[in-house]
Structure 1
Amino acid sequence: MAINKPLKWLITGGCGFIGTSLIKNLVEEGRHHIRVLDNLTVGTRDDLSCVCDFTETNSTDDKAKLIVGDIKDYATCQNAAKGMDVIVHLAANTGVGPSVEDPEADMKNNVIGTFNMLEAARHNNVKRFIFASSGAPAGECEPPIHEELPPHPVSPYGASKLAGEGYCSAYYKTFGVETIALRFGNVYGPGSGHKNSVVAKFIKKAMAGEILEIYGDGTQTRDFIYIDDLIHAIKAAQTTPGIGGEIFQIATNKETTVKEMVDILIPPLNKAGIADIQIEHGEKQVGDVMRNFSDTSKARDILNWTTRYDLSRGLQETIQWFI
C-alpha cells in the first residue's frame, strides 16, 4: 500500500521489531522523512541501522533522525513531535508477564507515556496519531473479539492499553487529534530477534537446543499475524480518511491453539536441521486469557485491508530469517 505524498513520520519505539519493519517499508517506498524516539531498552542503534541511515544530530540531509529519550518525559515528547505529520506510537511495556511482575512500570510506560505523546500531538498540531493497542483490553470473553465488546481486562497490561485507547478517544473528541487505535494480534516475523513472544521465543530456544515450555496444556488460542500484514494495516490507518477516534482489530480472524502453532513450527525447523526438539508443559501464566482471536471485518470494510500470509508461510519466512 503506497502513500501518495511524502510525510513526516515520528515513530516511537522505532528501534524495535514493528518500528524497524515499518521504517524499512517507508524507506523502500521513498520520499518520507522519518524521526525515531526510542530509549534503546529493547531495540538498538544497530537494529535501526539495518533498515535506514540515520543521524542523532540535526541534519538537513535525507537521513532518518534518532532521538534517544523516554516517552515518560513530557519535554522529550514535545520536542520529538515538532513539525511531524503523523505519530505512530509503538513504544510501550509489552506483554502480560512483565505487567504482572511490575504493574507500576507498566502503567508509567503505557498510560503516562501515551498521554505525553498525545499531548505532544495536540500542542504540535500533528494531524494523525496511530496507537498500537492489543486484544488485551477485551479480557476473558467469548471470541472473536470485536471493537464493540465491553472491555474487561484481566492483566495490568490490558488495563494500561485500555487507558491508552480511552485517552485516544478523548483527544479526538475534545482536541481533534485524529487518533486511530489498532489492536494488534500476536505479531511475528523477520526482525523479531528481541521479542519474547511465543513464536520468537520458541524459535530461539529450538535453535539453542533448549526445551520449549508451553504454559498450561497448550489449548489456549491466539491470533498470529505476520509482520508484513501488520505494516500494511498501519499504512492503511494513515491513508484512510474520516476514521478519527476509531478502533480496529488487526489480526487474521483465525483461532490457533499454541499447540497447533508448535505443530506447524516444528517441521520447517526440522527441515532446517534443528532436530530433537523437546517440549514440556508448565503452569498456566497468571493474567493470561484462554481464548483470543479477532473479528477483522471492520478493518476489511473501512480500511480495505486483509491479510496475505497464512501461518505456515509466515512461520517458514520467520525461521529462515532467524537462521
Structure 2
Amino acid sequence: MKWLITGGCGFIGTGLIRFLLAEGGHGIRVFDNLSTGTRDDLGQVAPFTEGSGAEAPFPEAGEVELIVGDILDEAALSQAADKADVVVHLAANTGVGPSVEDPRHDCLTNVLGTFNALEAARHNGVGRFVFASSGAPAGEVEPPIHEELPPHPVAPYGASKLAGEGYCSAYFRSFGVETVALRFGNVYGPGSIHKGSVVAKFIKEALSGERLEIYGDGSQTRDFIFIDDLVRAIRLAAAQPHVGGETFQIATSQETTVGEIAALLVSLLAAHGVRDVEVFNGEKRVGDVMRNYSDTRKAREWLGWQPEYGLEQGLDRTVHYFLS
C-alpha cells in the first residue's frame, strides 16, 4: 500500500516505518514539521528522499519520502495525501502537562490538525484513515476502560483527542472515509529518546545521574504497551475490513502503578550497571488520571490483535536501547 504518515519522524512513526519496510511492498511518505522527531531519527530507520509533495509521484515500494510541513497547513497536507491508500495520523501535541500549560495550542494542533488530515483524506479518496488517540478521552472513570464508556476528559489533551475521535466518526458516517481510532496505552520502547512519557523520562533521569521524580505518591496506574505490539495494531487497523468508524483500545489489559514501574526500572538499570538510582515523590500533577488500564477484547475480536511483549521484557529492551 501507499502510506502517508503524519508525524512519521517521531517515536511511533519510525517504529511503524521500520515494520512496514521489513514487511515489504509499501511506499511511504512522511509529513512532519520536525518539532519533535528529526531527519536523523528517520534516517536511522531508512534512507529517504526529501520532497515538496506538489504533483510529485508517490514513493514506490521500499521508498521513503519526507515532506517537511505542518498539519495546520491544509493545502500542503492535502497535496501530501494525493494518491495515498492509507493515512496514519500520528502528528499531535502529546501529553497532559503541555495541554494544561497551553490548552489553545493543544486544541489547534489536535483538533484543527486532525480536521485538516481528515479533509485531505476525503478530497483525495484515501481508503483508510487511522487516528492515534489515547485513553485520555475516557478520563476519571472506573477501569478497565472500554470503548462504550461515556467520556469524561480530565485534561485538555483528553478533550482534544475526544474531538478527534468525534470527527473520525462523523467523517465515516457523513463522507464514507473509513476511519479507525486507536486509543493507545502508554507506549514505550526503543526509539523513544525524545519522549517525555514516564518510562523514557525515568531512564533519561537515571542515566543523567538525577533522581527519578514520581508525581504524587506513585499509586496512579497506567497500561504500558511495547512499541512493536503497537505498530502491529496500526498495521492491522489499516487493512482489516468492516472496521470503518470504529474505536479500539490498544494496550495490554494490565494495570501497573507508576511506583512499580520505577522500582522495576531501578532493578533493570542496576543489572545493566547503572546503580544507586534514587527515587523521590514530587507534587501531584494537574490533570493526571489516577487509574487507567484497558479492556482490549474488542481489538482482539475485530482486529485479530493482542500484545506479545511482557512488561519486564519490553523494559529491558528499552533500557538496552538507551544505554547503546
Provide the TM-score with structure 1 as the length reference: 0.97
1:15 aligns to 2:9 (yes or no): yes
- Could you say what the CA RMSD is over the residues aligned between the two structures, in angstroms? 0.9
The 5-angstrom pairing of residues 173-192 of structure 1 reads 173-192=173-192
CA contact (8 A) 2:262 2:279 kept: no
Tell me what 1:3 maps to: none
Tell me what 2:106 maps to: 106
Give per-residue Cα distances to partners, 1:80-121, cap 9 Å, x unaligned: 100000000000000000000000000010000000000000
- Give, in angstroms, the shift of residue 261 of structure 1: 1.0
Tell me what 1:255 maps to: 255
Tell me what 1:286 maps to: 286
- Give, in angstroms, the shift of residue 122 of structure 1: 0.3
Q: Distance in 2 between matches of 1:259 and 1:141?
A: 21
Give per-residue Cα distances to partners, 1:238-281, cap 9 Å, x unaligned: 12100000000000000000011112111110011111101110
Letter of the structure 2 residue corresponding to residue 181 of structure 1: A
1:54 aligns to 2:52 (yes or no): no
Letter of the structure 1 residue corresponding to residue 202 of structure 2: F
Aligned to 1:214, the other structure's residue is in SS state strand
Q: Distance in 1 between matches of 2:157 and 2:298?
A: 24
Q: Distance in 2 between matches of 1:36 and 1:210?
A: 35
What are structure 1's unaligned runs of at least 5 residues? 1-6
Deviates more, 1:26-35 or 1:107-116: 26-35
CA contact (8 A) 2:71 2:113 kept: yes
Give per-residue Cα distances to partners, 1:104-160, cap 9 Å, x unaligned: 000010000000000000000001000000000000000000000000101000000
Aligned to 2:87, the other structure's residue is in SS state strand
1:231 aligns to 2:225 (yes or no): no
Aligned to 1:66, the other structure's residue is in SS state strand
Q: Distance in 1 between matches of 2:21 and 2:206?
A: 33
Give per-residue Cα distances to partners, 1:272-297, cap 9 Å, x unaligned: 11111011101110000000000000
1:147 aligns to 2:147 (yes or no): yes
The 5-angstrom pairing of residues 1-323 of structure 1 reads 7-57=1-51, 58=56, 62-323=62-323
Q: Distance in 2 between matches of 1:239 and 1:36?
A: 19
Q: Distance in 1 between matches of 2:229 and 2:24?
A: 19
Deviates more, 1:187-196 or 1:59-68: 59-68
Aligned to 2:137, the other structure's residue is in SS state helix
Q: Distance in 1 between matches of 2:142 and 2:251?
A: 16
Letter of the structure 2 residue corresponding to residue 54 of structure 1: F
Q: Distance in 2 between matches of 1:154 and 1:267?
A: 33
Letter of the structure 2 residue corresponding to residue 83 of structure 1: K
Q: Distance in 1 between matches of 2:218 and 2:242?
A: 41
CA contact (8 A) 2:154 2:288 kept: yes
Q: How many residues align?
A: 317
Q: Distance in 2 between matches of 1:159 and 1:199?
A: 24
- Give, in angstroms, the shift of residue 63 of structure 1: 2.9
What are structure 2's unaligned runs of at least 5 residues? none
Q: Distance in 2 between matches of 1:313 and 1:265?
A: 11
Q: Distance in 1 between matches of 2:31 and 2:25?
A: 20
- Give, in angstroms, the shift of residue 310 of structure 1: 0.9
Aligned to 1:180, the other structure's residue is in SS state strand
Tell me what 1:4 maps to: none
Aligned to 1:136, the other structure's residue is in SS state coil
Q: Distance in 2 between matches of 1:267 and 1:260?
A: 11
Q: Distance in 2 between matches of 1:176 and 1:239?
A: 16
Q: Distance in 1 between matches of 2:15 and 2:139?
A: 28
Provide the TM-score with structure 2 as the length reference: 0.96
Letter of the structure 1 residue corresponding to residue 254 of structure 2: K
CA contact (8 A) 2:223 2:252 kept: yes
Q: Distance in 2 between matches of 1:136 and 1:297?
A: 19
Q: Distance in 2 between matches of 1:73 and 1:239?
A: 28
Give per-residue Cα distances to partners, 1:67-91, cap 9 Å, x unaligned: 0000011101111100000000000
Q: Distance in 2 between matches of 1:79 and 1:104?
A: 26
Deviates more, 1:161-170 or 1:49-58: 49-58
Of all paired residues, the percent bearing the same amino acid is: 67
